[in-house]
Amino acid sequence: MTASLSSSHRPADPRTADHRALERAGLRPLPPVPPRAPLHLVAAEGQLQVHTAPYRGSFSNVLSQALRAAGLGSRVLIVQFLKGGVDQGPERRLTLCGRLGWLRPAVSTCLDGPAVDQGQAVQEAVEQVWQVCRRELLAGELDQLVLDELGLAIALGYLSEEEVRATLERRPGSVDVIVTGPSIPEFLMGLADQVTELRRGF
C-alpha cells in the first residue's frame, strides 16, 4: 500500500523557489517580454546608373563587373545597340556563366551613322534588339541590365526616345540598369541615381 504525498512533501517548483529568493533579496523578476510582429524583409532597390564619356568604347570596366556579377549568381543582360560585326541578333545571343546574356543586332558592322542612312534592314535589326531588351526588363526576371550606347542609338534615330523613357520609368524596382556611352539624353540624366563621367586625359 502506497501513501500519496501530501502537499507539504511535494518537491518544490524550482521556478517558485527562484522567485522567492529574489523577493527575499528585495528584487523583482523581470516582466515577460510581449510577443513581437514578425520581421518583414525589405526588397532590394535597384538603381539606374549612367556612365558617360565624350568618346565610344570606354566602359570595359562596366562590362567586366557585369560578368563578375553573373559569375556570382546574378541574372545579367548586356545589350550593345550599335556594336555589330558578328551578325548575331536575338536568335543567336550569347550566354556566359549560365546567367549572362549578351545581345547585339544582326548587322555586319558597327554602326556610327544616322539610321536613315543605314537602310530599313539595319534599323529593324536594332529595333528587334530593343524589343527583346524591353520585354526582359519589364518581366522583372533580371538583376542587372547593361544598355551600351543607348543614348547614341536614340540620338542617331534608331530608337524612340519616348518609348525608351516610358519603359525605363516602368522598370521593376529590383533591377539595376546601367546605361553607358556618349550622348546621354537629358531625361536619362534626370532618372539616374548615379552619374559617372569619364574625361579624356591629356
Integer-rounded Cα radius of gyration of the chain: 31
What whole-number distance in Å separates Cα of residue 69 and Cα of residue 176?
11
| 48-197: CATH superfamily | P-loop containing nucleotide triphosphate hydrolases (3.40.50.300)
- Residue 175 near residue 140, CB atoms below 8 Å: yes
| Alpha helices by DSSP H, 47-119 | 60-71
Write the DSSP string, 21-45: HHHHTT--PPPPPPP-PPP-PPPP-
Q: What is the mean predicted confidence (pLDDT) over 157-164? A: 96
Mean pLDDT of 25-44: 66
The pLDDT of residue 5: 47
**DSSP 8-state assignment for residue 158:** S
Query: Cα–Cα–Cα angle for 174, 177, 182, nearest 5°?
Result: 165
The C-alpha cell of 196 is what?
559617372
Please tell me the distance from the alpha carbon of residue 79 to that of residue 70, in angstroms, as a whole number.
Answer: 15
Q: Are 151 and 181 in contact (CB under 8 A)?
A: yes
Question: In one letter, which amino acid is 154?
Answer: I
pLDDT in tens, 3-22: 444 445 555 555 566 667 66
- 121 is written with which cell numbers? 534592314
DSSP strands (E only) in the chain: 48-52, 76-80, 94-96, 100-103, 144-148, 176-180, 194-197
Candidate ranges 19-33, 85-99, 187-201; pick with highest mean pLDDT: 187-201
* More confident of the two residues 93 and 76: 76
Say how far residue 66 (Cα) sits from the centre of its chain: 11
Average pLDDT over residues 94-119: 88
Better-predicted residue by pLDDT, 97 or 70 = 70
What is the share, in percent, of the chain residues with pLDDT greater than 90? Answer: 46
Beta-strand pair 100-103/94-96: antiparallel
